[in-house]
Amino acid sequence: MLSYRHAFHAGNHADVLKHLVLVQLTRYLGRKDKAFWYIDSHAGAGSYALESAQAAKLAEYRQGIARLWGRKELPPAVADYVDLVRRINPGGGLKVYPGSPDFALWTMRAQDRMRLFELHSRDVLRLREHFASVGARVLVDHSDGFAGLKALLPPPCRRALVLIDPAYEEKHDYQRVIHALRDCLQRFPGGTYLLWYPQLTRLEAHDLPPRLKRLPASNWLHVALRVRTPDVDGFGMHGSGLFVINPPWTLQGTLQELMPWLVAVLGSDEGAGFTLESQAA
């Protein structure tokens, strides 16, 4: 599990989808004056240099954020997201890609708080350095995020967005996300939960969305972006999905307009497409 480094995949199509939705969620939570917490179970290293040896090895960002970078007349939600990426690239070139905590911090208010978990020993040091100047608003914990969630829920302010996006390198991660979300819903049923998962040919990935729908949550939204036809040899990630529990009422309408555009821009063959479904109490 600890061999995974997000630097190899930073800014890819999965990050585009995940961070577009993350920004929509934090923007919506910020509409009310009352504070909220952002909790990240697998926070990573903070930011990622796209010219580093890790990012350049696969250069996945070229099929993700790079396809949006030079475009004009972006859909409003995409423009908001790309403008935030530009914030960490003041020179105008695409050199650095921000991690999920950056997108959260940049869209939060002074009264909001962040709690970040990261288990990788090198990444947690970079994460702490990345947020060293922010102060007490951001706390970084070198521990297993699945276990750490139990101590934080419910938060004192009774409002929170929880992001869960493990590496899924090991099969038991698929079971752990189900257990984690079930436990979160027992402790804090009113929270907003954002779960990311990869679209792979392996059975565990295929079976995850139906299992998520059986969780004790009456309000959920499921969105997935497939960028290519799965390889016949089963190698690689051909898309990714997000399962949102207690989503804002605005999210489905935004994604209905956005997903066909993302398929057209990020898709690489005729197998590209999307899924968008929801359930409301």
Q: What per-residue confidence (pLDDT) applies to 3?
A: 41
Q: What is the CATH number of the domain that holds 70?
A: 3.40.50.150
In a domain, 198, yes or no: yes
In a domain, 232, yes or no: no
Tens-digit pLDDT profile for residues 9-65: 899 999 999 999 999 999 999 999 999 999 999 999 999 999 887 767 778 999 999
Give the total number of structural domains in the chain. Answer: 1
- Active-site residue among 165, 173, 183, 231? 165
pTM: 0.95
Lowest mean pLDDT among 85-89, 170-174, 195-199, 250-254: 170-174
Neighbours of 72 (CB within 10 A): 5
In a domain, 261, yes or no: no
Burial of 17 (C-beta count, 10 Å sphere; 0-12/13-18/19+): buried
In a domain, 256, yes or no: no
Tens-digit pLDDT profile for residues 218-232: 999 999 999 999 987
The Cα 60–Cα 68 span in angstroms is 13
In a domain, 275, yes or no: no
Tens-digit pLDDT profile for residues 126-162: 999 999 999 999 999 999 999 999 999 999 999 999 9
Q: Mark whether 123 is an active-site residue.
A: no
In a domain, 190, yes or no: yes
In a domain, 271, yes or no: no
Contact 39, 161 (CB under 8 A): yes
Domain region containing 106 = 6-213
In a domain, 269, yes or no: no
Query: How many helices, marked H, and strands, marked E, lie in the chain?
Result: 10, 10
**What secondary structure does DSSP assign to 168-204, as a single string?**
--STHHHHHHHHHHHHHHHH-TTSEEEEEEEE-SSHH
